[in-house]
Amino acid sequence: MKIKNICCIGAGYVGGPTMAVIALKCPDIKVTVVDLNKERIAAWNGPLDTLPVYEPGLTEVVAEARGRNLFFSTEVDKAIEEAEMIFIAVNTPTKTKGEGAGMAADLRYVEACAKNIAQVAKTDKVVIEKSTLPVRTAEKIKEILDREGKGVHFEILSNPEFLAEGTAIQDLFKSDRVLIGGYETESGQKAVQTLVDIYANWIPKVKIFTTNVWSSELAKLASNAMLAQRISSINSLSALCEKTGANINELSEAIGMDHRIGQKFLKASVGFGGSCFQKDILNLVYLCRHYGLDEVAEYWHQVIKINNYQKDRFAQKIIDYFGGDLTGKRIAILGWAFKANTNDSRESPAIYFAEKLFKTGAILEIYDPMVSKESIFSDIDFYWEASKPKDITTGISVLNSLNKLDLSIDAVTILTEWEAFKRHDFSKTIVFDGRGILSSSNYSIGKG
């Protein structure tokens, strides 16, 4: 089957950039990205410098494909009806209520998509899981589609996204691998082939790996868990370095020079953040417990525990430096995004760090080159515990430029490795960054 129309449900950090690249590389396919969020769609259709997702290279891709074969719309039903292939790229946060709360993935948005597709589809569809999902979710989606559908045939594929924010466009252009999981039936394998043909427009065939559905679903969770495990491993060792006089940067370089280990994802930090790692590991832990694999669950849970320990440890270091009380101390928090080159702050260590300092009496001055003041206050509102005072704005200000930072401040803390921070002269202040280093001169630690 030759695909002429693709629909993607969810115009977020995954759906937006992924579909923009598919549209760019497959000019003969009409790609429509739909979302219930009107503001988000309006922003995707608006000026290129205010797209809802900040990613280096994204504006160029959208500029070329938008209006040609890439469309953003709120008309979900129409796009579903038109398409032969539908990607589900909606959010799958950790459940906050009910069975598995705090651990399992909340699948209500995915299930709502499946119901929507079932009710609208008048022709056969290939439905693709793009969002990260627990293993065996395809079964649930299939059940909904078959139960509520109007007699048409649905084929489910798993095609997890491996892009990292900040390098999403490069990751999509030159993926290490594209993973496509399908049912081991004749129609399942045909559907796999239609998706292989799309990616083959720009990805070498050797990098397109096809598997059964369950391996593909689990590979995404497992990949993220392994990456996060490396960070927790090096972060745990940073604590030991501080006790023994070993230098964590040297340690990380020395370990990474062994080609069996490699250098990537061995950078000590204030802890990992982002919408994926914590959520996916919790999901993995939940799955393991569900299957009675308690030892395996505990092994992976430890990756999260070390991450929480690291975030807490960094905040405590600043508190200890000032003798256990930050009352009246003015502390700058530089960086709010969970990593450089993104405007995404979901699960950013800065949020938890700021909360701990604020609770200990600090007056906070926050700056991030890409995260807006509104987003910062909305994160505080969403993530901080109930203990926050009614009017947080009295103790917290958000700067709109790094040059507004008053260097007579008590301390500067660097939470995100933005390039701009490495170039800035902080020579008159005390600087803390995430690698267990305290500098009272120029912040040159992160350079290079």
Residue 276 falls in the annotated catalytic set = yes
- Is residue 90 involved in binding ligand ADP (CB under 6 A)? yes
| Cα–Cα distance for residue pair 56/166, rounded to 1 Å | 7
Q: Phi first, then psi: what are they for 376, rounded to 5°?
A: -60, -45
Q: Site residues for ligand ADP, window 302-361 (CB under 6 A)? A: none
Q: Site residues for ligand ADP, window 8-27 (CB under 6 A)? A: 9-15
Binding site for ligand UDX (CB under 6 A): 161-165, 224, 227, 231, 265-267, 269, 272-274, 276-277, 338-339
Residue 151 buriedness (CB in 10 A; 0-12 / 13-18 / 19+): exposed
Q: Closest CB to ligand UDX among 239 and 409? A: 239
- Is residue 119 involved in binding ligand ADP (CB under 6 A)? no
Least CB distance to ligand ADP at residue 112 (A)? 4
The DSSP secondary structure of 328-384, one letter per residue, reads: T-EEEEE--SSSTT----TT-HHHHHHHHHHHTTPEEEEE-SSS-HHHHHHHHHHHS
How many residues lie near ligand ADP (CB under 6 A)? 21
Measuring CA to CA, how many Å separate 285 from each of 5, 100, 158, 436? Answer: 38, 11, 21, 29
Nearest to 154, CA basis, from 191, 198, 209: 191
- Checking DSSP bridges between strand 85-88 and strand 125-129, what pairing results, if any? parallel
- Which one of ligand UDX, ligand ADP, none interacts with residue 10, CB within 5 to 8 A by kind? ligand ADP
| Cα–Cα distance for residue pair 58/370, rounded to 1 Å | 15
Least CB distance to ligand UDX at residue 223 (A)? 6
In this structure, the number of other CB atoms found within 10 A of the CB of residue 72 comes to: 26
* In contact, 198 and 29? CB cutoff 8 Å: yes
Least CB distance to ligand ADP at residue 276 (A)? 8
- Which one of ligand ADP, ligand UDX, none interacts with residue 273, CB within 5 to 8 A by kind? ligand UDX
Least CB distance to ligand UDX at residue 352 (A)? 12
Name the β-bridge partners of 363. Answer: 330
- Which one of ligand ADP, ligand UDX, none interacts with residue 91, CB within 5 to 8 A by kind? ligand ADP
Least CB distance to ligand ADP at residue 53 (A)? 8
- Residues that are catalytic: 276
Residues that bind ligand ADP (CB under 6 A): 9-15, 34-37, 40, 76, 89-91, 109, 112-113, 131, 275
